[in-house]
Copies of this chain bind each other. A is one copy, B any other.
Amino acid sequence: MSRLDSFIRRLKAQRACLDLAAHLVRELDGDVLELGLGNGRTYDHLRHLFPDRKIYVCERRVAAHPDCVPPAELLLLGDMRDTLRAACGLLGRRVALAHLDPATGEGVASRALAAELALLIVPLLRPGAVLVSEPAIDQLGLTPLPLPESVAPGRYNLYRYVSCRSSA
């Protein structure tokens, strides 16, 4: 399998998971949180899925296609470890869907970063919210959800947030 093959497979898995997640949270009010803007393609997909919700985007520095730059008031600029901490007041317990794809490659460093970010994302989620994540996350309160049929286990990940209180 070439890198082109695996890239296509990864993008299709991402899209299938986002589409399913959008369906899963259709009855749950709340905002959307995109961790990483990149070129803005996934953000644009989220805009199509959630035309009526606020989509907040964390990014260190905007380098997206001009058509895919979020409005300034929804853009949380800086290191995600800082902006997510600061976003608690703005977004705490208001996010219905979050998408984490730090795209730092595979391996130990990427998983460590994902775990660190997950700790900061969970306090922003509403009970019942869905987290779509490329790296797997092992985090209290996040329950793995079945993937779309087209997505092989581990290629992408879906979690439902069940607050510790409601699961107790």
Contact = CB atoms under 8 A, between A and B. Distances in A.
Count copies of this chain in the complex. 2
A46 to B, nearest CB: 8
A41 B2 contact: yes
Contacts of A1: 48
Contacts of A41: 2-4, 7
Contact of A11 (B11, B15, B45, B68): B11
Chain A contact surface mostly: helix
B5 A8 contact: no
Interface in A1-25: 1-5, 7-8, 11-12, 14-15
Nearest to A14: B4
A127 B5 CA distance: 30
Contacts of A44: 2-4
Nearest to A67: B3
Contacts of A40: 3
Contacts of A14: 4
Interface string A62-73: 000101100000
A114 to B, nearest CB: 21
Given A2-B48, A4-B42, A4-B45, 8 more contacts: A2-B45, A2-B47, A3-B41, A3-B45, A4-B14, A4-B41, A8-B12, A11-B11
Interface of A: 1-5, 7-8, 11-12, 14-15, 40-42, 44-45, 47-48, 65, 67-68
